[in-house]
Amino acid sequence: MCLAVPGKIIAIEGKNPLERTGKVNFGGIVKEVNLAYVPEAGLGDYVIVHVGVAISRVDEKEAEKVFEYLKQMDELAELQEGTQ
Amino acid sequence: MKYLDEYRDAQAARKFAGAIAKITTKPWVLMEVCGGQTHAIVKFGIDELLPAQIELVHGPGCPVCVTPLELIDKALEIASRADTIFCSFGDMLRVPGSKKNLFVVKAEGGDIRIVYSPLDALKVAEANPEKEIVFFAVGFETTAPANALAVRQAYERGIKNFSILVSHVLVPPAMEAILSSSQNRVQGFLAAGHVCTIMGYTEYEPLVQKYRVPIVVTGFEPLDILQGVYMCVKQLEEGRAEVENQYARAVRKDGNPLAQEMICDVFQIIPRKWRGVGEIPQSGFALRDKYRAFDAEKRFDVAGYSAEESPECISGLILQGLKKPFECSAFGNRCTPERPLGATMVSSEGACAAYYCYRSHTVILRAKPEESHSRSFAERRSAQDDNWKRQNVKN
């Protein structure tokens, strides 16, 4: 129910803030999405979309952190093994 | 797809699973709150990757599942009207009311349309001015901004033939209801990522302080969930209880302020009944007086319904993390996704439906229904653990 999918904004239109609308590309499928809640999101940005409404702009730096976390765990494990 | 595929990497998932096994010294019970997370856990077999000491129990986070029976009955009555087009998300159509479901009403001639967004329902209203258009506004905080936006747009554009049947529930009061129960087993939460996208996570601070449970805001892909489990177990093992955010690519501490403003303008907080659980104080939304003209319950005068749940269904216990789907005698025989007895089998995100779809090799394909119950859940966990060891010890 709370399924929300990331997609890339490829077009924006609409002057009324409540009706700001974009075309969002989800891996090849393009859908019309309301952008009223993400005024900071522009062309080329990724947004998280739920029931036709963008609810958040994807933070690219934060998106890398899962992998940085993994890398840190690896390095920590190597350090621990080295001291044993 | 970017921001999806990379979070499903099998090698990285095994690394996380190995790291979780390394830091786990005691048994811990964690609850993933959202049905989307339950679906991912069972679909990708994430629980089977975890050490046996970590038990994941499945939370109440499926709004389709917890919509009370009498509200479904009201939907059925409205949808049966000849002057009405009833619009809904697809997964509500199969949810059983007292006597039938929306699919049956559609088969009987009701004009019921599946829409992807409440804004699509508004378009249906504009295209059919001679008809009443009712949208079944079901959801958690995640969906509330979209439903609120549809009502606000209808209000501003003066669209008179549009209304919504509200079944909105809120996550933190349900978490508190679980934690305050004398039977509670949950020691840490994976909070629902997309709910927090809207609401942020400051409202979890009082829960963490009062009940001393770690709460980790968690996403929906396998790596998100494994990292969420890792962060939660780490806190438990270190004796900490804090709110942490695993899903920072989508969730900011204060959530989405514009969405919150819209929710606040359109909805007010009220007590709500949860299917399988009962009434929880301050746990849902209703339309504010300013928007009462858009309230389908008032427009069609369908108040005063009451309905009884199937006495055989244990969905209330499952929604509170006290039982697993396997432990119900009706599971997979008298209760299936095609003919659900209650809450947790009705939506694909309900725990019972997820087990039915993805665990059929262990649960459904049995010779006799009794046999699966003769095997205790502990035995099944032990078998899962052996499986996990086979997969991971050699790494």
Q: Could you read off the pLDDT of B84-138 as tens digits, one per residue?
A: 999 999 989 988 888 889 999 999 999 999 999 999 999 999 999 999 999 999 9
> What's the pLDDT score for residue B192?
96
> What's the pLDDT score for residue B98?
85
| pTM (two decimals) | 0.88
Sign, Cα dihedral of B248, B249, B251, B257: positive
Contact A1 B140 (CB under 8 A): yes
**Nearest-CA distance from A71 to chain B in Å?**
10
Q: Give the tokens for residue B65.
A: 């599942």
Q: Which domains does chain B have, with CATH numbers?
A: 1-312 (3.40.50.11740), 315-392 (no CATH)
Of B153, B224, B248, the CB nearest to A59: B248
Of A26, A52, A69, the CB nearest to B120: A52
Q: Could you read off the pLDDT of A33-84 as tens digits, one per residue?
A: 999 999 999 999 999 999 999 999 999 999 988 888 888 887 777 777 665 5
How confident is the model over B287-308, as a mean pLDDT?
89
Q: Could you read off the pLDDT of B128-169 as tens digits, one per residue?
A: 999 999 999 999 999 999 999 999 999 999 999 999 999 999
Of the two residues B174 and B372, the one the predictor is more confident about is B174
Task: Determine contact: B238 vs chain A, CB below 8 A.
Answer: no
Give the model's confidence band at B344: pLDDT under 50 very low, under 70 low, under 90 confident, else very high: confident
> What's the pLDDT score for residue B301?
86
CB B219 within 8 A of CB B225: yes
> What's the pLDDT score for residue B392?
47
Sole residue written with tokens 């305050």: B180
> What's the pLDDT score for residue B309?
77
- Which positions in chain A touch B153 (Cβ < 8 Å)? 18-19
> What's the pLDDT score for residue B361?
58
Q: In angstroms, rounded to a whole number, what is the distance separating the alpha carbons of residues B339 and B327?
A: 18
Give the model's confidence band at B240: pLDDT under 50 very low, under 70 low, under 90 confident, else very high: very high
> What's the pLDDT score for residue A42?
95
> What's the pLDDT score for residue B383?
55
Q: Which domains does chain A have, with CATH numbers?
A: 5-83 (2.30.30.140)
Average model confidence (pLDDT) across chain B? 89
Residue B373 has pLDDT above 50, yes or no: no
> What's the pLDDT score for residue B371?
42
Residue B305 has pLDDT above 70, yes or no: yes
CB B283 within 8 A of CB B173: yes
- For residue B52, give the amino acid letter: A
> What's the pLDDT score for residue B319?
82
Q: In angstroms, rounded to a whole number, what is the distance separating the alpha carbons of residues B125 and B133?
A: 5
**Phi and psi, residue B126, nearest 5°:** -70, -35
Q: Please count the residues of chain B.
A: 395
